[in-house]
């Protein structure tokens, strides 16, 4: 089966609670994780707001799904690419994002960061390197 | 042969077209569809950004969507190719992948 592994990129460009896109993307990623593909997530434009710390949705009646990103490592989804320029444009830095780690079972379960901050040019390279791109 | 990018929102409502243009690689195709076709006219505040990538990136517009909105082909930005529905299918078929900029 290994020769049938494809590279899937989920592109997230929307803020988390104004529309359903962000939550739907996360649901699809979790479903897709069952299929043993090479999965990456991209966060750019308003999509970077999905990963901010301190989200509290108690008073808007919508589930806060941001903690779910921290579970992705258990589904072997360990590549979350975040675009530096998108952070800059929104007055954010890497410190404003929640910490997301995964355990590398091939490296004595060392904890490694899932979030990789890359430039816009590098994001274009990541996109061009995929077999399938799913946009949200 | 590269990526087919589709943009279906007006560039005056969202940043999708500009973000798409900023991420498209040389040899890619950007196809404006639905309200995305509003980006294909000349003399707008996104014309320069498109023109700067025209050539390196193939810029296309879905003709039926352009016509439906009463847009003037005479004012279409130079270098934009109009395609019909079968042209859209051909672009998708010959591209390595498609990417929608929602």
Q: Where are the beta strands (DSSP E) in chain A?
A: 7-12, 38-43, 80-83, 101-104, 110-113, 115-118, 132-135
Per-residue pLDDT band at B84 (split at 50, 70, 90): very high
Residue A116 clears pLDDT 80, i.e. is over it: yes
**CA atoms of A1 and B83, how far apart (whole Å):** 39
> Nearest CA to A87 among A124, A54, A127, A43?
A43
Look at residue B30 and give its three-state secondary structure. strand
A42 in contact with B at a CB cutoff of 8 Å? Answer: no
**CA atoms of B8 and B39, how far apart (whole Å):** 10
Shortest Cα distance, chain A CAs vs residue B25, angstroms: 7
pLDDT per position as a tens digit, B14-28: 999 999 999 999 999
Residue A44 and residue A78 in contact, taking contact as beta carbons nearer than 8 Å: no
Per-residue pLDDT band at A2 (split at 50, 70, 90): low
Closest residue, chain B, to A119 (C-alpha): B23
Q: What DSSP state is assigned to residue B25?
A: P
Give the mean pLDDT of chain B: 97
Minimum-distance CB partner of B97 among A45, A130, A136: A130
pLDDT of residue A80: 98
Minimum-distance CB partner of B102 among A44, A124, A135: A135
Residue A1 clears pLDDT 60, i.e. is over it: no
Residues of B in contact with A12 (CB under 8 A): none
A81 to A49, A104, B67, B68: CA distances (angstroms)? 13, 18, 39, 38
Alpha-carbon dihedral sign for residues B53, B54, B59, B61: positive
pLDDT of residue A109: 96
Q: Which residues are CB-contacts of A4 (< 8 A; sequence separation ≥ 6)?
A: none
* Range A80-109 average pLDDT: 97
Give first-to-last CA distance, chain B, whole Å.
22
Percentage of chain B with pLDDT > 70?
100
Give the mean pLDDT of chain A: 96
The whole-angstrom distance between residue B88's C-alpha and the CA centroid of its chain comes to: 11
pLDDT of residue B1: 84
Tokens of A81: 């690419």
Q: Which residues are CB-contacts of B101 (< 8 A; sequence separation ≥ 6)?
A: A13, A135, B5, B6, B7, B8, B9, B16, B17, B19, B20
pLDDT of residue B20: 98
Shortest Cα distance, chain B CAs vs residue A111, angstroms: 31
pTM of the model: 0.94
* Range B3-12 average pLDDT: 98
Percentage of chain A with pLDDT > 90?
95
- Look at A135 and B25 and tell me if their CB atoms are within 8 Å: no
């Amino acid at each position: 089966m290994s020769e049938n592994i494809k590279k899937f990129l989920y592109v997230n460009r929307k803020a988390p609670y104004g529309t359903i896109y962000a939550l739907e993307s996360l649901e699809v990623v979790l479903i897709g994780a069952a299929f043993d593909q090479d999965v990456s997530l991209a966060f750019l434009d308003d999509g970077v707001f999905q990963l901010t710390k301190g989200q509290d949705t108690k008073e808007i009646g919508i589930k806060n799904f941001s903690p779910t990103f921290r579970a992705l490592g258990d589904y072997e989804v360990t590549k979350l690419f975040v675009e530096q320029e998108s952070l800059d444009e929104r007055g954010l830095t890497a410190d404003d994002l929640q910490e997301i780690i995964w355990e590398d079972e091939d490296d004595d379960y060392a904890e490694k960061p899932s979030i990789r901050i890359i430039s816009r040019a590098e994001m274009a390279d990541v996109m061009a390197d995929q077999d399938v791109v799913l946009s949200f | 042969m590269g990526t087919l990018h589709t943009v279906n929102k007006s560039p005056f409502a969202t940043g999708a077209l500009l973000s798409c243009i900023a991420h498209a690689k040389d040899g890619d195709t950007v196809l404006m569809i639905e309200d995305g076709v509003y980006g294909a006219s000349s003399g707008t505040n996104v014309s320069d950004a498109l023109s700067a990538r025209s050539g390196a990136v193939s810029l296309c517009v879905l003709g039926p969507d352009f016509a439906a909105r009463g847009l003037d082909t005479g004012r279409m930005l130079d270098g934009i190719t109009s395609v019909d529905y079968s042209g859209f299918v051909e672009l998708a078929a010959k591209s390595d992948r498609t990417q929608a900029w929602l």
